[in-house]
Amino acid sequence: MKTVLTAAIFSALAGAALADGHCAAGKTLTDGTLTIATGNPAYYPWVIDDAPESGQGFEAAVAYALAEEMGFAADAVTWVRTSFDEAIQPGAKNFDINMQQYSITEERDKVVDFSAPYYTAPQAVLTTETVMAAGGTSPTMDFLKELKWGVVASTTALPVVMEQIQPNQSPLVYDDNVNVTAAIQAGQIDAALFDLPTALYLSAVVVEGGAILGQFDPNAAEDPDQFGALMPEGSALKACVDAALAVMTENGRLAEIEAQWLQEATGVPLIK
């Protein structure tokens, strides 16, 4: 709520500059071009078919809408790929903004800049139908504690598991989504925590007999998982990006894109 308010104030202040269309002028790596980084590979439903240039997928769509709002035509957008490490290491960066489901955290904010959030991700539990059958239809926290958990190392899922679920056995940790799903398939873990859209994709497409056990209500969380565009520390572009995102939040454009690409996310039961 606070962030939205801040963004609104920003938009009011920056409104005049945007009207001129020059907010980002001279602030990008290459003048007149907005260089956007995504993951390698980039995953469904954030980017469809690992082809961000198509504008298909939630983050790809947000990226083009954001560029447009900042005064860049679609053909003035250039894509590059980075890993998580490349994005946070010190030194010059090869992108203006980086969008790959970066959760905004206080510690990360010390090293890099984050835009205002463009998505608030509910955390969801990916599991298998076999485990679901054992847990009954309405899973309790006690049931979750009994499970063997797995998470991806570079995500904020591990603190969530440790603090909110507090499982009886220590979780196993993996490099990426593929390894987590391999471990689920091998029966080495019962459940894994992902943001909801990723969890939906994995349960439907990757994990044989996969299922979503439920999602945590993001608004109930003390510190909800919000995705922001990552920029180099002290980026001059941040004000422009925040202003553009504020406009998009205000005029419903963000919600529209979310409804288009992340519609499956609604209708997953809440875990209480």
Partner 1 sequence: MIAGLSTAIVVVLVVVLVPLAPGWDAVKRSFFDAETFVNTFPTLLRAFLLDVAIFAWSVPMIFALGLAIALARGAQSAALFPLRIFGAVYVDLFRGIPVVLLVYLVGFGVPGLGLPRPWNSPYIWGTVALVLTYSAYVAEVLRSGIESIHASQRNAAICLGLSSRDTMRYVILPQAIRRVVPANMNMLVALQKDVALLSFIGPVEILRQAGIFKSLLANFTPYVVAAVIFLCVTVPATRYADYLLNKDRNARS
Burial of 68 (0-12, 13-18, 19+ CB in 10 A): middle
Provide, rounded to whole angstroms, the least separation between the CB of residue 155 and partner 1: 7
Element holding 192 (H helix, E strand): strand 191-195
DSSP string, 114-182: EEEEEEEEPEEEEEEHHHHHHH-SS--HHHHHHSPEEEETTSTHHHHIIIII--SSPPEEESSHHHHHH
For residues 233 and 256, which CB has a smaller minimum distance to partner 1 in the complex?
A: 233
Spatial CB neighbours of 79, under 8 Å, sequence gap ≥ 6: 35, 36, 37, 38, 52, 53
Peptide bond into 45 cis (omega under 30): yes
- 54-65 exposure pattern, b = at least 16 Cβ within 10 A, e = fewer: ebbbbbbbbbbb
For residues 75 and 208, which CB has a smaller minimum distance to partner 1 in the complex?
A: 208
Binding footprint of partner 1 on the chain (CB under 8 A):
84-85, 88-91, 105, 107-108, 110-112, 150, 153-156, 158-159, 170-175, 179, 182-183, 185-189, 233
For residues 117 and 214, which CB has a smaller minimum distance to partner 1 in the complex?
A: 117
Provide, rounded to whole angstroms, the least separation between the CB of residue 135 and partner 1: 16
Provide, rounded to whole angstroms, the least separation between the CB of residue 83 and partner 1: 11
For residues 183 and 268, which CB has a smaller minimum distance to partner 1 in the complex?
A: 183
Provide, rounded to whole angstroms, the least separation between the CB of residue 168 and partner 1: 14
For residues 61 and 165, which CB has a smaller minimum distance to partner 1 in the complex?
A: 165
For residues 15 and 187, which CB has a smaller minimum distance to partner 1 in the complex?
A: 187
Provide, rounded to whole angstroms, the least separation between the CB of residue 157 and partner 1: 10
Provide, rounded to whole angstroms, the least separation between the CB of residue 131 and partner 1: 12
For residues 71 and 210, which CB has a smaller minimum distance to partner 1 in the complex?
A: 210
Instruction: Specify the amino acid at residue 220.
Output: A
Do residues 115 and 242 touch, judged by C-beta distance below 8 A? yes
Peptide bond into 171 cis (omega under 30): no
Provide, rounded to whole angstroms, the least separation between the CB of residue 150 and partner 1: 6
